[in-house]
Structure 1
Amino acid sequence: MKTFITRTISALFFVAIMLGGILWNEASFFLLFFLVNLFALLEYFKLVRQIDPSYHEISQWHRYGLVVASCAMMMAFTGNSFGTSGGITLGFLGTCMTVIFLCVLPMGEILMGKNFSLKTLGYSALGLLYVTVPFGLLVNLRLSYNMQAVAIDGAHIGYLIPLLLIIFIWINDTMAYIVGSLIGRTPFFPSISPKKTTEGSVGGMILAVAAAGVFGHFWGYQWLAFQHWIVLSCIAAVFGTAGDLLESKLKRMAGVKDSGKIMPGHGGFLDRFDSLILATPFAWFYIYMFLL
């Protein structure tokens, strides 16, 4: 009972923070996912150190340089959204810093690292690709000029696509848990996530797409065409499930249950956003190819 209460309170707190950051304004959205990216990346590096102890030996320059490079990349994805009176934008500063650090970082590791290894550089590059790029693309979707131009009754709704992705993933996860608990019998990927069942996973996907289709047909047409509701929910369900399995694989390799303990009863940032991390690049590609 105590565990259930703890999970409920932390979940409500989490939802309040998420909705506030997503819906308030562009700056709050960027700040929210800037921080999420930072903590999720730190959890990724912790998992890598547990998977391969040699990653402990990277230099301080490498360790802190990666964090700065990740923050700079997040800034770069804001484009021209945040600027000064002198015409210098946060996106421009971020792009310059990203180029500098990604060029200088390997050279610094060669000169300062005790045991230079291309493998450790690969782990670091994979972390930026796996964590920072998806969150950067999510910020880019929110701050895109074309998305900002979308308005209902005079109110800009650039937050719509990121919010829908999160909602579809939540519906998929919730329905997969309920269906799996009721009729789940066949293990989905027992070597990675023993508790997941094929019935639950497929049921969650179907119900998530069905919920999106019903809402999109009767009410959501004023924001997006029906086919976009279906495709985005499919992306969230399919690639969100794959993202969950991918992070579960990393945790199994590291020999840990959760990526972190920032949320009582819910694990870490990677545990909460693993589905969004993998679904976002595919949603971004779809939006820019077929919607904007």
Structure 2
Amino acid sequence: MALNPVVFKTRALTALVFILVMACGLFIDQWSFFLLFTFIHFGCWTEYQKLVGIIDPDYKQIMGIHRYGVMLFGWGFMMWMTNDAYLVGNLQLSEIGWWLMLILAFTMPVAEIVLSRHLNLKNIGYSLSGLVYISLCWGLMMDLRSEGILIFGNLFTLDLGWVLPVVMIAAIWINDTMAYMVGSVIGKTPFSSISPKKTWEGTLGGAILAVATVTLLGYFAFGMTDYITLIVISASAAIAGTTGDLFESKLKRMAGVKDSGNIMPGHGGFLDRFDSLLFTTPVVWLYVKLFL
């Protein structure tokens, strides 16, 4: 297939902007990280509600207090998962998040009953699933980011909170790239009917190369001596990340759409870009809490 210069230019420019935005959000400080994932959180929610509305048109009829309230509740959870490094004046961001969740937990059901005169349990189930799929994961991401911010009284603050998220994102990118390259060269056996382009050869080859690349680079190039953690994170990116990609592909197939959105021309939407990270984050979070 001949290369289309216009399409290539669009994809390249979009990728460049995406990389710059991600780099700024990840590396500037904890607030840029929070703003980045706030943007991603609401973007994922918008696309999730659109997909579910296509799959089940009844979900399109939910009221504004339900549609936006559940997004804000999830955002409140993200705030609640931050630590003392996130201060708004004399108020901790986690306290703001707690009160936002508490207020919405009472007002949303009351508004639903008063305005619609009944609770649609099916639509509530879709929204609760969205909270688990999207908001829980980004809340855990904020907790991982906060864990690495070490505050030494009034002396100084050591911020290493960006390390785990960056390693996760790098591992996912390497896994996807390697899986595509290996699959293109030797891929023959279909991996799943949900995503026909994936092959067993590409999936396994990508996973092995991702674990090897992340571990060796982290250990020898960046002096990260905890190679076990590097192996766990890269393996999680390969296994959980691939599962997340298949889950989102299933949603799109049920909705009959190619991309979850068009925020990034040539690359799809928020869920298309972050589906793997949504599934990888809880696995890495559990590992950190249980073993680190």
TM-score over 0.5 for the pair: yes
For residue 149 of structure 1, give the secondary structure of its aligned residue in structure 2. strand
The structural deviation recorded for 1:114 is 6.3
CA deviation map 1:129-167 (0-9, x unaligned): 1011111111111122xx1239xxx96321000000000
Unaligned 5+ segments in structure 1 are none
Partner of 1:186: 189
The residue type equivalent to 1:181 in the other structure is: S
Pick closer, same or farther for the CA change 1:149–1:219 going to 2, 3 Å: farther
Partner of 1:213: 215
The structural deviation recorded for 1:67 is 2.4
**Aligned pair partner of 2:171 in 168, 173, 178:** 168
The residue type equivalent to 1:120 in the other structure is: N
- Whether 2:110 is the aligned partner of 1:103: answer no
Judge conservation of contact 2:86–2:92 (CA < 8 Å) in 1: yes
Partner of 1:132: 135
Matched residues in 1 for 2:225 and 2:267: separation? 33
Runs (4+) of structure 1 exceeding 4 A deviation are none
Matched residues in 2 for 1:84 and 1:186: separation? 54
CA deviation map 1:157-208 (0-9, x unaligned): 2100000000000000000111111111111112x11111111111110100
Matched residues in 2 for 1:286 and 1:71: separation? 24
Matched residues in 2 for 1:25 and 1:114: separation? 46
The structural deviation recorded for 1:104 is 2.8
Judge conservation of contact 2:55–2:255 (CA < 8 Å) in 1: yes
Summarize the alignment of residues 189-208 of structure 1 with structure 2, pairs less than 5 Å apart.
189-190=192-193, 192-208=194-210
Matched residues in 2 for 1:114 and 1:182: separation? 59
Partner of 1:8: 12
Partner of 2:268: 267
The residue type equivalent to 1:13 in the other structure is: V
The residue type equivalent to 2:53 in the other structure is: R
Pick closer, same or farther for the CA change 1:206–1:231 going to 2, 3 Å: same
Matched residues in 2 for 1:70 and 1:11: separation? 28
For residue 194 of structure 1, give the secondary structure of its aligned residue in structure 2. strand
**Aligned pair partner of 1:50 in 41, 47, 54:** 54
Matched residues in 1 for 2:229 and 2:85: separation? 26
Partner of 1:257: 258
- Whether 2:65 is the aligned partner of 1:61: answer yes
Larger CA deviation: 4-13 vs 62-71: 62-71
Q: Percent identity?
A: 46
The residue type equivalent to 1:174 in the other structure is: T
The CA RMSD measured in Å over matched residues stands at: 1.7
Judge conservation of contact 2:34–2:142 (CA < 8 Å) in 1: yes
The structural deviation recorded for 1:70 is 2.2
Matched residues in 2 for 1:219 and 1:60: separation? 50
Pick closer, same or farther for the CA change 1:199–1:83 going to 2, 3 Å: same
The structural deviation recorded for 1:219 is 3.2
The structural deviation recorded for 1:107 is 2.8
The structural deviation recorded for 1:85 is 4.6
Matched residues in 1 for 2:253 and 2:35: separation? 31
TM-score, normalising length from structure 1? 0.92
TM-score, normalising length from structure 2? 0.92
Larger CA deviation: 167-176 vs 211-220: 211-220
Matched residues in 1 for 2:88 and 2:72: separation? 22
Partner of 2:76: 72
Partner of 1:120: 123
